[in-house]
C-alpha cells in the first residue's frame, strides 16, 4: 500500500493466484463473504458493481494482472462492491456474463490502451475509468501522438518512421547516433533499443517489427528522466527516475531494485513548473480524460522533451502515478476511488 492508510475493517485473507513478471504472487481475494460484498461501506452504493478489468492479450498481461489485483484489493478495502475480471480478447463476452455498473480498466498495452476495450464498454453503455476511445487510440500511436504534440507546440525529440516493407537505414543519418528505436504502438518500453552505431541498427529495427508494421527512430536525448502524473486533469508532483543505465526500460521499470524515484524531482523551480505545464498540456492535447502519466526527458541544458502519454498507467507497488498521488497525501485506496469518481 502506498501513502498513509485510513483506518477501517481488516481485509480478508488473500488467495495467491499466478505470478507477476518478477515472480511475486498475484494477490486476489476470491469468494468474498456476501455480507462484505453488499456492505454499504464509506461510499454507499453510488458506484454499484465495479468490474476491475485486467490481463488482456498484450505483452503487458503480467503487469496488468498485478495492477488489477492491487486496484481490486483497494476497492474491497474501501467497502465497495468489486469483482476481478480476467480478460483475454473476449471483453464483450466478459461484459455480457457479468452485470457490472462501471468498469475500472487496468488493462495495459494493446486492447486495453488502444481504444478497443473502451469502444466495447461504450457499445454496452457501461461507464469506465480513464480516457475515451479516440484519445486512447491517439496516445497509443507514438507517431500520431507526436504529430498532436507538435501541433500544440509541445517539444518532442526529432524522429523518423520506418515501414516494415520499405526502409533505408541510411535515413537514420538525418537524426544521428545514438538514437532510440521503438515500436509504433507498444507500452512498458517493450521492444525499445538504444542504438549507438549504425551497424547495430537493422537488428534493433527488426526487433520492433515483431510488434507491428512500423518502427519509430527517435533522437536520443541525454539527460534526466521525468514523469508527470495527471489526476482530475491536473498535474501531480513531478518525479525524477534514476536508473543504473540511464534508460527507463522494462527491466528498470519492473525488475531492477536499484531504480530510484525522487518525489518531488530535485530540479530548479522554473523547470519544475514547466514540466507540470507540459504534462497538463500533453494530456489535454490528446483529449485525455481524468488521469494519465506523461513521460518526458530534460536535456543537459534544462530543455524538456515530451516522449509519450500513458492513458492506463501502472497501478503496482513500483508504479509512478500512485507515488505522485502519495506525495499530495492520497493513499492508494483514495487514489482508486478518485479515479472511479471521474468515471461517473
For residue 168, what pLDDT is reported?
82
- Average pLDDT of the segment spanning 136-159: 96
Told to judge if 295 belongs to the known catalytic residues of this protein, a careful annotator would answer: yes
For residue 45, what pLDDT is reported?
63
How do residues 187-228 score in pLDDT, each as one tens digit?
546 677 899 988 888 888 888 787 777 888 999 999 999 999
Q: Residue 334 pLDDT more than 90?
A: yes
- Confidence label for 267 from pLDDT (cuts 50, 70 and 90): very high
Q: Which of 78, 113, 225, 308 is catalytic?
A: 308
- Average pLDDT of the segment spanning 41-45: 54
Told to judge if 308 belongs to the known catalytic residues of this protein, a careful annotator would answer: yes
- Confidence label for 288 from pLDDT (cuts 50, 70 and 90): very high
For residue 60, what pLDDT is reported?
85
Told to judge if 46 belongs to the known catalytic residues of this protein, a careful annotator would answer: no
Told to judge if 188 belongs to the known catalytic residues of this protein, a careful annotator would answer: yes
For residue 38, what pLDDT is reported?
39
Q: Which of 72, 128, 248, 254 is catalytic?
A: 254
Told to judge if 310 belongs to the known catalytic residues of this protein, a careful annotator would answer: yes
- Average pLDDT of the segment spanning 32-42: 39
For residue 34, what pLDDT is reported?
33
Cα angle, residue 204 at apex, residues 200 and 207 outer, rounded to 5°: 145
Q: Which of 137, 282, 314, 318 is catalytic?
A: 314
Supply the DSSP string of 71-100, one letter for each residue: HHHHHHHTT--EEEEEESS-HHHHHHHS--
Q: Residue 169 pLDDT more than 70?
A: yes
Q: Residue 303 pLDDT more than 70?
A: yes
Beta strands in the chain (DSSP E): 15-19, 25-28, 50-55, 82-87, 102-105, 159-163, 179-183, 193-195, 214-219, 223-231, 234-242, 260-262, 291-299, 304-310
Contact 37, 45 (CB under 8 A): no
Cα angle, residue 341 at apex, residues 338 and 344 outer, rounded to 5°: 160
Higher pLDDT, 215 or 284: 284
Higher pLDDT, 19 or 253: 253
Told to judge if 220 belongs to the known catalytic residues of this protein, a careful annotator would answer: no
Q: Residue 18 pLDDT more than 70?
A: no
Told to judge if 137 belongs to the known catalytic residues of this protein, a careful annotator would answer: no
- Confidence label for 163 from pLDDT (cuts 50, 70 and 90): confident
- Average pLDDT of the segment spanning 302-324: 94
- Average pLDDT of the segment spanning 26-50: 52
Q: Which of 191, 295, 319, 343 is catalytic?
A: 295
User: Beta partners for 295?
Assistant: 227, 308
Instruction: Count Cα atoms within 13 angstroms, Cβ side, for 264.
Output: 13
For residue 4, what pLDDT is reported?
34
Domains and CATH numbers, the chain: 15-129 (3.40.50.20), 139-155+222-311 (3.30.470.20), 159-219 (3.30.1490.20)
Amino acid at each position: 500500500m502506498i501513502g498513509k492508510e485510513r483506518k477501517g475493517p481488516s481485509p480478508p485473507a488473500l488467495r495467491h493466484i499466478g505470478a507477476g513478471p518478477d515472480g511475486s504472487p498475484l494477490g486476489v481475494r476470491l469468494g468474498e463473504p456476501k455480507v462484505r460484498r453488499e456492505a454499504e461501506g464509506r461510499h454507499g452504493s453510488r458506484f454499484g458493481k465495479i468490474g476491475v478489468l485486467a490481463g488482456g492479450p498484450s505483452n503487458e498481461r503480467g503487469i496488468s494482472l498485478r495492477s488489477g489485483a492491487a486496484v481490486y484489493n483497494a476497492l474491497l478495502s474501501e467497502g465497495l462492491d468489486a469483482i476481478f475480471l480476467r480478460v483475454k480478447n473476449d471483453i464483450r463476452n466478459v461484459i455480457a456474463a457479468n452485470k457490472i455498473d462501471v468498469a475500472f480498466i487496468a488493462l495495459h498495452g494493446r486492447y486495453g490502451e488502444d481504444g478497443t476495450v473502451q469502444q466495447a464498454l461504450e457499445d454496452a453503455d457501461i461507464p469506465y475509468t480513464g480516457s475515451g476511445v479516440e484519445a486512447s487510440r491517439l496516445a497509443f500511436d507514438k507517431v500520431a501522438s507526436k504529430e498532436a504534440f507538435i501541433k500544440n507546440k509541445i517539444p518532442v525529440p526529432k524522429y523518423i518512421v520506418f515501414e516494415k516493407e520499405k526502409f533505408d537505414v541510411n535515413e537514420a543519418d538525418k537524426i544521428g547516433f545514438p538514437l532510440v528505436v521503438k515500436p509504433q504502438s507498444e507500452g512498458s518500453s517493450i521492444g525499445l533499443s538504444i542504438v549507438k552505431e549504425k551497424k547495430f541498427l537493422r537488428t534493433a529495427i527488426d526487433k520492433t517489427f515483431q510488434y507491428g508494421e512500423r518502427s519509430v527512430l527517435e533522437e536520443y536525448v541525454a539527460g534526466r528522466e521525468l514523469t508527470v502524473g495527471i489526476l482530475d486533469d491536473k498535474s501531480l508532483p513531478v518525479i525524477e527516475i534514476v536508473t543504473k543505465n540511464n534508460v527507463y526500460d522494462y527491466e528498470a521499470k519492473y525488475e531492477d531494485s536499484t531504480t530510484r524515484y525522487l518525489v518531488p524531482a530535485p530540479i530548479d523551480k522554473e523547470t519544475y513548473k514547466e514540466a507540470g505545464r507540459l504534462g497538463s498540456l500533453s494530456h489535454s492535447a490528446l483529449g485525455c480524460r481524468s488521469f494519465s502519466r506523461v513521460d518526458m526527458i530534460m536535456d543537459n541544458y534544462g530543455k524538456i522533451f515530451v516522449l509519450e502519454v500513458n492513458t492506463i498507467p501502472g497501478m503496482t507497488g513500483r508504479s509512478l502515478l500512485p507515488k505522485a498521488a502519495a506525495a499530495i497525501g492520497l493513499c492508494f485506496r483514495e487514489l482508486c476511488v478518485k479515479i472511479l469518481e471521474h468515471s461517473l
